[in-house]
């Protein structure tokens, strides 16, 4: 039986997340949007100290349950960029959990329980390899007791903070280019490793508080044991290799969280519109037949219905993960729906508010900028829709492209 109910303690955690988002985070939104590369040290300290007092262990590691997802939604309602730059292993932790041995999980994630706070990152995207992971050109060559990595990775979330804080970056590289996806492997590159270089920090349209970087690996030597999973290349089916499945398992874990971020942003935009209308004496009249509603009332109800639909898909995906069941299709459903919803809702909210929605007097235009990326990163809406179609129809990636 599927159960999304929360314990009293979990309900309090969600309420506390909303309170922090409203009272502490939201007032910082505009400042860190305008000062993109400035570090919100006061927020990092606050969140780290709260986590340590609560004894919450490794932040961001392992599959999130419904309570954690709702906390993520509330934090994103406050400011998604500031939420994304919180201390923790991030996508790097998700990759280690998905691909590493029990010993590797303990070794590499232990640092995220210790002072001072640290960040983690995962590097997969390249200039010539976005959605098509089989095109990855970064190489890993064994040299005795080491691997030597060479290549360039772009759009790496939190890479700068990971490198400066003593964290780590999980780098996806190929050990055999001719093997296609079967040659894909994940490698843990620790901060300070010679040959790991921060090449560029992006100036972005949204999520400006979160650093997004280009990194370069030049003869970057890491210990042999820093490879996650089986080092052997098994060319049984190059389109369904162990390395590729582990990469996708990372996204199965992370996509519901990204979808929750999208719902939080969309809800923030819709809340602003409803509050603005109520200040003018306009309230949505629920319960009336649709033909008796105004155009604005219909728009708002449609947006609310889509938000609820996206949230239910997200909760379904994370519940399956928490029960250690496959959620590949459900994670992609949640991500595709939420990315579509946040794009349409934020744009509609800007439209409904007219010039005020487009101006910088409110955060509404920022919500629209922050929201769009949710339909692009962690697998584009088109890619996630394709994954869902393959699962429903029973087709392989070779059969349905």
User: What's the CA angle centered on 381, arms 379 and 383, to 5 degrees?
Assistant: 60
Q: Based on the number of CB atoms within 10 Å of its own CB, is 92 exposed (0-12), middle (13-18) or buried (19 or more)?
A: buried
CA distance 198 to 176: 26
Contact 72/83 with Cβ under 8 angstroms? yes
Q: Which residue is catalytic, options 126, 330, 365, 378?
A: 378
CA 190/CA 4 separation, integer angstroms: 37
Give the chain's length: 401
Query: 347 CB contacts (<8 Å, ≥6 apart)?
Result: 368
The beta strand positions in 224-290, using DSSP E, are: 227-228
Beta bridge mates, 217: 151, 196
Is 225:168 a contact under the CB 8 Å cutoff?
no
156 φ/ψ angles, rounded to the nearest 5 degrees: -95, 110
Two tokens at 212?
């997004």
Tell me if residue 42 is catalytic: no
Residues catalogued as catalytic = 378
């Amino acid at each position: 039986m599927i159960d999304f109910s929360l314990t009293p303690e979990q309900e309090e955690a969600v309420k506390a997340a909303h309170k922090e988002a409203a009272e502490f985070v939201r007032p910082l939104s505009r400042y860190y949007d305008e000062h993109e590369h400035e570090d919100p040290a006061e927020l990092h300290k606050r969140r780290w100290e709260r986590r340590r007092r609560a004894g919450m262990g490794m932040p961001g590691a392992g599959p999130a349950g419904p309570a954690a997802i709702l906390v993520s939604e509330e934090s994103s309602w406050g400011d998604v960029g500031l939420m994304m730059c919180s201390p923790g292993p991030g996508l790097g932790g998700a990759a280690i959990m998905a691909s590493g041995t029990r010993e590797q999980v303990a070794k590499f994630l232990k640092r995220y329980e210790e002072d001072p706070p640290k960040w983690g990152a995962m590097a997969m995207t390249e200039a010539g390899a976005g959605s098509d992971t089989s095109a990855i050109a970064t190489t890993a060559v064994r040299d005795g007791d080491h691997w030597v990595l060479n290549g360039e990775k772009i759009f790496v979330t939190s890479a700068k903070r990971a490198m400066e804080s003593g964290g780590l970056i999980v780098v996806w590289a190929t050990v055999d280019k001719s093997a296609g996806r079967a040659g894909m492997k994940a490698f843990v590159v620790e901060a300070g490793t010679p040959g790991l270089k921060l090449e560029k920090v992006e100036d972005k349209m949204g999520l400006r508080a979160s650093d997004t970087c280009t990194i370069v690996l030049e003869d970057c030597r890491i210990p042999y044991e820093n490879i996650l999973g089986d080092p052997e290349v098994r060319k049984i089916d190059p389109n369904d290799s162990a390395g590729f499945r582990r990469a996708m398992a990372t996204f199965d874990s992370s996509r519901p969280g990204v979808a929750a971020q999208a719902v939080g942003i969309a809800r923030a935009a819709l809340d602003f519109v409803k509050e603005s209308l109520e200040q003018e004496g306009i309230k949505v009249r629920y319960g009336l037949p649709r033909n008796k509603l105004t155009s604005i009332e219909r728009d708002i109800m449609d947006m609310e219905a889509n938000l609820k639909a996206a949230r239910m898909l997200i909760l379904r995906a994370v519940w399956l993960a928490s029960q250690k069941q496959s959620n590949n299709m459900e994670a992609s459903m949640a991500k595709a729906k939420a990315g579509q919803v946040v794009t349409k809702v934020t744009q509609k909210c800007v439209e409904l508010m007219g010039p005020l929605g487009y101006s910088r007097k409110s955060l509404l235009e920022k919500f629209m900028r922050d929201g769009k990326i949710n339909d692009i990163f962690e697998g584009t809406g088109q890619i996630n829709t394709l994954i869902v179609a393959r699962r429903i129809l029973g087709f392989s990636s070779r059969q349905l492209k």
